[in-house]
Amino acid sequence: MRYKKYFRKTSFKQKDVGDFFLGEIQSKKPKVFLEVGVFHGVTARNVCELLNYIHGSDFRYIGLDLFNESQENVNEIIPNTKFNNPLKTIYFRFIKKQDPYSLEAVKDLLKKFKNNISLLKGNSNTILKQIDMTKIDYVFLDGGHDYPTVLNDLNNCIEVINNNGTILCDDYDLSYAPGVKKAIDEFVSSNKLKCQIICNNRFAKIEKN
C-alpha cells in the first residue's frame, strides 16, 4: 500500500518515507494502534486503510493531539498549520469549512472507519496515563518534541514494550529538536531495550531486547 496525502499536511513530506513507514506497520500487523500527535490525520488515515486491508474491521486506531490547544504548550514545536498551496486554503476555508488541524476535521477524514477509531484531545502528559496500555501493540510517537514530553510519553508507553509491542519514534535525529534523541537514548539505556535507528536516522524503533 502506498502512502497518500489526502490534500493535507503530514510529517512525511517525502512519499518514500511514508511508504517506508507503512512497510514497518505491515511487517508487525498490529491490531491496536496508538498515534501520539495526529495533526491533520493523514498518517491516521493511511494506518486505518492499511489495518483495514490486513484485518478487515478487526482493528482499533487511537489518536491523540492537542488539536489547536497549542497555547497550553508554549515550549512545543507545533508544525506550521498554514498551507503553501492557496488552493488547499480555499478548499478548507470555503468548501469543507473546516480547520484541518481540528478534531472535527480529522474525524471527518476518518469517517469510513468511525467504528474503529478513538480520537482524544489533550496533552499526552495527562492523556496517556488514562489509556490502558496493555491493549496496545504498536505506538507511533510523534507528538511533543521537547525532552521532558518525549521521555514522559515513552515512560507512559513502556507497558506496550513489556507486552512485546513496538514504539516507533519519529524525528530521532532532528537538528532543531535534540531533546527527542536525548530522551530516546536515555529511555532505551535505562530500560535495557533494543533500539534500531532506521530510514536514514529518521525513526527509532524500540522493542524488548
Residues of this chain that interact with ligand SAM (CB under 6 A) are 10-11, 35, 37, 39, 42-43, 64-66, 73, 76, 78-79, 123-125, 142-144, 149
Type of residue found at 150: V
Closest to ligand SAM by CB, 166 or 209: 166
- Nearest approach in angstroms of CB 192 to ligand SAM is 27
Neighbouring CB atoms inside 10 A of 126's CB total 10
C-alpha cell at position 159: 507497558
Residue nearest to ligand SAM (CB): 37
| DSSP-assigned states of every residue in 79-135 | PP-S-SSHHHHHIIIIII-S-SSSHHHHHHHTGGGTTTEEEEES-HHHHGGGS-GGG
- Nearest approach in angstroms of CB 122 to ligand SAM is 7
Per the document, the length of the chain is 209
- Nearest approach in angstroms of CB 160 to ligand SAM is 17
- Nearest approach in angstroms of CB 98 to ligand SAM is 15
Residue in the structure block whose three cell numbers are 535505562: 190
- Nearest approach in angstroms of CB 94 to ligand SAM is 23
Q: What Å distances lie between residue 85 and 32, 68, 81, 88, 153, CA to CA?
A: 34, 21, 12, 6, 33
Query: Whole-angstrom Cα distance, residue 97 to residue 99?
Result: 7
Closest to ligand SAM by CB, 139 or 161: 139
Closest to ligand SAM by CB, 59 or 101: 101
Closest to ligand SAM by CB, 13 or 97: 13
Closest to ligand SAM by CB, 116 or 149: 149
